Chains A and B, each alone.
Chain A
């Protein structure tokens, strides 16, 4: 029986960051999709229903917080784990992200072990509903 991999969606417009993140997440055993734009990311999330979404804060089309709010507003995508990746550690931004409803707020560059652990935790949730 073939190993069905969990899907992850990365929403990031900087190609280099997207490529690196994809590489890392793939090595954690995920099948990775990439969107370079918030609107496209939302569209792909609805269609593909990934297990986890890693999104940047600043995005063209629809920025990170708006994307997360849209995901939470839709019953189909409400339960997807969302990690917000950002390079700025600023309380205001963290607050915005949490208000929008992210599960984790992660600073770039992330600590590999921590990120791996967080991704594993997502997969091992049996009911797919956030705690």
Chain B
């Protein structure tokens, strides 16, 4: 690239920045028309572009800028006063210049871009001079105000990325060294590694700062978008922003630009009502669009709320039915929140004036995908008549945060320190008294405040019911997220560490419970809990004032009723059977040798208990068995489904576990034998749906005592 090419590139970049500033100033000028500072800034901007265009031998751009300058100097002299027509004309000027810059950027020249319309429009504006009060005493050539001095350097983006990665690796190595040295009791090593630690922390903070930009970088383009959309749609809108200096990594800034713009346009087009409608509804004629951004536990939350009419769920449902995406019965089964979430379905984007204005077919589904691609999540909440809030939560990539490490079962989990209020340990024996129950919900009284309790192992789908630690104590982490306080019961509390957050891959990122993952000092991968997600999942947090029942879906992204989760197993006579996962506490695999015979029945030792076992064949009385290997062995391990009912556990031996599927069970063919709910075709095969509650009625085991030691068993075999 020649020097001139580089300068041209730089010119385009600089001019675009100038135009951004110009637009901001113009919109500011509309609200404070007498601000000489703003006017001065606008004039200088256009003057700059004109000068540079002249030097770069871009006559059309120069002429454009010149026509703008003429209008501006009249404004400056007081011969003209700013009004919507003039502002519109100058904004059109900015658009024209952007178009020209785009052409220049792509082809290196002005080509045949035609700006005569804009030039004429500005010329007309000039002549419409309404004699305003002469700006007395002001020297037209005064340099009012100062453009902020930028002392900085430009650094190649790839280099910054490299540095970021290196620092991330450094943090991981540092963690390893610190872990190792803490075991060594070697004072010099300890001292040095502590210094290394401190230096690394500072370096990491410094590097992260280079990549962080305030969200205002994206937001400052929005006043223009809001103004144009409002005008186009005939609405009146006031834009408010909170948290403009919330910082995000620059790659995220780029990624949210488009989705955010689309969402804002959408709010104005669909969310907000016309002034007349609003007045009729008793609201002020001017609609309010609020943008909020804040940090929360390793994630950034960006909210866009409007005080409009809310999402019309009836209309969406209708559209979904018309489009063949849902049946009327399905929509009737869905909760209000599920119906609201339909806006994320592809194919449901309602054509709008605004999207035709922007010329691009962007739908909410694209917004959702874009956000998910950067590891974030989008949720929407709406209240009819009151408004809609769209919330985006994005993990800070390669962010480094402090986390509390806890365990559940065999694994460690990291909880962002920001969410942790305090730690409580309830000793063995006291647990039954201190943990109270209010209408089936376990709560803990913390200095007079009742906090709901959540058991981590339950939320992770692990076995057991309100399981306590190995020593019988209850380890409770008091957490807060989005204003909701609750206690999380974990097996153990380890320590606090500084961890590097790494985003999860596509196969696992949509799981609401996890915000990311990290690597511990010993090299192990540990999942980071998303406390907000946890609160939502356990229905502690509900942004929607829902009337009626809520569907118990783990992830809010599941928008379509999918039926029940079923475990497919090979049945006794080579048929296929399915058991609802909701009836299965846990899947276990025991070595053949672990099975014992007690009183004519097979049992196995299980968590300090005795688990009675039975094969499906023996539980179904009408079954006609063929001879086969005893106890359905496959690959040396005996697969058992643990079923719990009223605190009693039983184990059902299955020959082979085939798959987990989700399948609707509305159209079951009637059962032909007891213990079977019915049959349905799954994956091309007729499948009987078993009801474990019915068939296990005869089996039983002594109840476990509350507070009894529960340690993860040393079982041979893989867990499902």
Contact = CB atoms under 8 A, between A and B. Distances in A.
Interface of A: 13-17, 19-20, 23, 36-37, 40, 58-61, 63, 87, 92-93, 96, 108-109
B7 A108 contact: no
Interface in B72-98: none
Q: Is the interface of A mostly helix, strand, loop or mixed?
A: loop
Interface residues on B, range: 20 to 34
Contact of B7 (A16, A58, A63, A96): A16
A63 B146 CA distance: 10
A67 to B, nearest CB: 11
Given A36-B149, A58-B44, A63-B143, A19 B51 contact: no
Contact of A109 (B11, B48, B55, B146): B55
Contact of A17 (B3, B55, B147, B150): B55
Contacts of A20: 7, 55-56
Interface string B233-276: 00000000000000000000000000000000000000000000
B52 A14 contact: yes
B56 A108 contact: no
B149 A61 contact: yes
Contacts of A59: 143
A31 to B, nearest CB: 16
B47 interface: yes
Interface of B: 3-4, 6-7, 10-11, 14-15, 44, 47-48, 50-52, 54-57, 141, 143, 146-150
A40 B3 CA distance: 26
5 contacts: A14-B14, A14-B48, A36-B149, A87-B54, A109-B57
Nearest to A21: B55
B54 A109 contact: yes
Contact of A60 (B7, B57, B147): B147
B167 to A, nearest CB: 30
B149 A92 contact: no
A109 B50 CA distance: 11
B143 A16 contact: no
B14 A92 contact: no
Contacts of A58: 44, 47, 143
Given A17-B55, A40-B149, A60-B149, 13 more contacts: A14-B48, A15-B10, A19-B7, A19-B10, A36-B150, A37-B149, A58-B47, A58-B143, A60-B146, A61-B146, A87-B50, A87-B51, A93-B141
Contact of A16 (B3, B55, B149): B55
The 3 nearest A-B residue pairs measured at CB: A16-B11, A87-B51, A16-B52
B382 to A, nearest CB: 46
B94 to A, nearest CB: 17
A36 B150 CA distance: 8
Contact of A13 (B7, B50, B55, B147): B147
A92 B141 contact: yes
Contacts of A14: 14, 48, 51-52
Nearest to A13: B147
Nearest to B149: A37
Contacts of B54: 87, 108-109
A84 to B, nearest CB: 13
Nearest to B150: A36
